[in-house]
Amino acid sequence: EEAASNMAGKSRWSEVTMAPADPILGVAVAYNADPSPKKVNLGIGAYRDSDGKPLVLRCVREAEKRIANDEALNKEYLPVQGFDRFLKITPQIIFGKDSPAVVEGRVAVCQSLSGTGALRIAAEFIAMYNAGSMVYISNPSWGNHHTIFKKAGLKTTTYRYLNKTMGLDFDGMVADLSAAPRGSTFVLHTVAHNPTGVDPSQEQWKKIADVCQERDAIIVFDTAYQGYASGDLERDAWAVRYFANTRGLELMVTQSYSKNFGLYGERIGALNVAVKSRDTAAKISSQLKGIVRPMYSNPQLHGARLVTWVMEDPALKALWEKELKEMSDRITEMRSSLVSALVEINCPPPNANFRSWDHITSQIGMFAFTGLSEKHCSLLTGKHHIYCTKNGRFSMAGVNPSNVKYIAAAMKDAINSCSKL
């Protein structure tokens, strides 16, 4: 009776409001609830093969077999900073094996809960030692960037990035970063900018490095697509290596192994902080551990083992690089196929700023920033069961030979229908 009486009272949490659905993950929820056999998911950024199925890489399957069959391995806690062998090899992948910062021990490394976790650790560290640093994030950018830094108590703003024809607004970007207060934090996308797929050229990166140095900026490179973007690990790391190795700039680099290893559910990544001395790196490492310990105590084991087993074994690493090229090539092929399908049916460009659909093939990585409006996207979903984010971003991994013409026809219908409104 007492329990029933207590349950009948008002909850102390009754005033809690319903949080809005995540704009990206909410697309997946809506897609899963749709019973239509025609439905297509172009929302969440996860790779699919040419049959539209999730893919576990062959190198990962082999590494899992070796781990499972090694009875000497256990499931004990990892140290706070992560798996030692992973911590040794992951900075080599992004900075290069012969990077002076790596060779000289000037990189503080902390294993993280994929790229999101690495960003949050970086944000907390910046808030501890540079609380007044304004965080500059590209407009547009990944939807979680502002929230991550704000949750750490930092203030965020934007810098110009994209022009009206889906090209890089380089002059606007440089002007905004050049006007930033000294000591500001600049969040840069290492490769395959999300959501646009538009990256600076190497010459443009050099100018951006000049601006970062002149403004004494805290540089944060967010790396989610190394190897997946172009199929070449070295090429995709060029910007980071130029800043760190050629220019000798101090910087933070996050790494995610979700996309390039297909380890979405393992949440494996790292935060690297490259600085000017080994002693400073050691002190930063100690502080990163101090952030992790009360946040989640220590990171996950299985994903770190998988990545390490592959990268330490020459044959498995070669297989991984081969599979990266296969994934990258399929995405590139689907970009061309979609544009060809649009041209074949004389689909008009998304708005008057465009003369063609060539911006889809000039972009790189998982996403295509199509130029479609929110109204276009709502019609794609409501009438054609094609799910994407409202800003017109398509996950090209969701496009395959069996649905590309259906997607193109739906895009044409959406554009023509909206033009009549």
Q: Is 222 a catalytic residue?
A: yes
Question: Cα–Cα distance between 118 and 270 in angstroms, integer?
Answer: 6
According to DSSP, the β-strands at 367-369 and 268-274 are unpaired
Q: Is 97 a catalytic residue?
A: no
Question: Cα–Cα distance between 318 and 332 in angstroms, integer?
Answer: 21
Tokens found for residue 53:
């199925």
Q: How many other C-beta atoms are found inside a 10 Å radius of the C-beta of residue 15?
A: 7
Question: Cα–Cα distance between 251 and 243 in angstroms, integer?
Answer: 8
Q: Under 8 Å CB-to-CB from 149, ≥6 apart: which residues?
A: 119, 123, 126, 135, 137, 156, 185, 187
Identify any residues that bridge with 352 across adjacent strands, giving them in sequence order: none
Helix, strand, coil proportions of the chain in percent (round to 5)? 50, 15, 40
Question: Cα–Cα distance between 318 and 325 in angstroms, integer?
Answer: 11
Q: How many other C-beta atoms are found inside a 10 Å radius of the C-beta of residue 415?
A: 22
Q: Is 22 a catalytic residue?
A: no
Whether residue 140 has a cis bond before it, omega within 30° of 0: yes
Q: How many other C-beta atoms are found inside a 10 Å radius of the C-beta of residue 222?
A: 27
DSSP structure class, residue 37: T
Q: Given 142, 309, 320, 357, which residue is catalytic?
A: 142
Q: Given 169, 176, 199, 222, which residue is catalytic?
A: 222
Q: Which residues of 340-370 are buried (b: 16+ CB within 10 A; e: fewer)?
A: ebbeeeebebbeeebeebebbbebbbbbbbb
Helix (H, G, I), strand (E, B) or coil at 20: coil
Instruction: State the catalytic residues.
Output: 142, 222, 259
